[in-house]
Copies of this chain bind each other. A is one copy, B any other.
Amino acid sequence: MRVAIQGEPGAFSDAAARQLLGEAVELVCCAENREVTRQLAAGGVHAAVLPIENSLAGSVFATYDAILAEPAIVAVGQTVLPIRHCVLGIPGATLGDLRTVESHPVALAQCRAFLETHPHLVAHATHDTAGSARLVRAAGDRSRAAIASAHAARVYDLAVLAAGVEDRPDNRTRFLLLRSTRDAPGAAPAAPGGAPPGAPAQTMLVYTTANVPGALLRTLEPLAERGMNMVRIESRPAGEPWTYQFIVEFEHTADPSAVQAVIAAIAPHTRGVRHVGTFARAAAAG
């Protein structure tokens, strides 16, 4: 099974893809999140795995935008991984030798306290945690380090100069498993993917509201009336300045007809509702 991720072998997305789909996945590594969903929509891969949210850094806009740009992909599953960052350098180097650390900006944002207490280190943003490890290895420069996983240290034969440099030890990232509506008719929005009836499920919807007072509120009331807990609301620019696409996630017990009823109740207050997917709730996402 070919699975697109953003990043390189040894990235946290690699670990998430294996957890969701098994060790036999064939990774298709992309530089950008947008390229991941483009490949999926074009049929170049069977599935994709992208980080949607980190417990310290918040929403991953690049993933939201990559999903919004491709109407024919659906979210069919999710997983939450603990994220433990390490400072990886050339074997033999010490923290004192370092001048720069490089990593994905979301990873750097999770290590703010470490960077503030090591002001001699200049942080450089890159495309990927594991890709940074590869570049540090290739350069062979003792003054350069990457922030990436301990697994990436093994993949790229680097030394762990400091471990657990994330700001909180309970640092976690939630990843979505995405399919194409063409390849995964059984995972189409109308059916909850992987959540048997009655099981804890979660649904993601996207819509734009009319620009009138209370319009967004009226789209949330159908959830509250049914005791469905909205767990996330995110907004992304919809084109015209100061118009937004809202991305809402709510928890419920798996029941396709209940989800369809909520969508029908919300729709009149929007310019159309996209059902991105319904999938099993992630235990660790609590």
Binding site for B on A (CB under 8 A): 54-59, 61, 105, 125, 168, 170-172, 212-214, 216-217, 220-221, 223-224, 227-237, 239-242, 285-286
Count of chain copies: 2
* Chain A contact residues, majority secondary structure: mixed
Distance A229 CA – B209 CA, assembled complex (angstroms): 12
Residues in chain B near residue A59, CB distance under 8 A? 235
A236, closest chain B residue (CB): B58
Distance A235 CA – B230 CA, assembled complex (angstroms): 13
Distance A237 CA – B230 CA, assembled complex (angstroms): 16
Q: Are A56 and B237 in contact (CB under 8 A)?
A: yes
Residues in chain B near residue A231, CB distance under 8 A? 242
Given A105-B105, A224-B213 in contact, is the A285-B242 Cβ separation under 8 Å?
yes
Q: Are A227 and B242 in contact (CB under 8 A)?
A: no
Q: Are A172 and B241 in contact (CB under 8 A)?
A: yes
Residues in chain B near residue A224, CB distance under 8 A? 213-214, 217
Instruction: Give the one of A221, A235, A242 with max B CB within 10 A.
Output: A242
Q: Are B242 and A286 in contact (CB under 8 A)?
A: yes
Q: Are B221 and A217 in contact (CB under 8 A)?
A: yes
Q: Are A235 and B234 in contact (CB under 8 A)?
A: yes
Q: Are B241 and A227 in contact (CB under 8 A)?
A: no
**CB pairs A–B below 8 angstroms (27 shown):** A54-B237, A55-B237, A55-B241, A56-B237, A57-B61, A58-B61, A58-B237, A105-B105, A168-B239, A170-B240, A170-B241, A171-B241, A212-B229, A213-B229, A213-B230, A214-B223, A214-B224, A214-B227, A214-B229, A216-B220, A216-B230, A216-B233, A217-B220, A217-B223, A217-B224, A220-B220, A234-B235
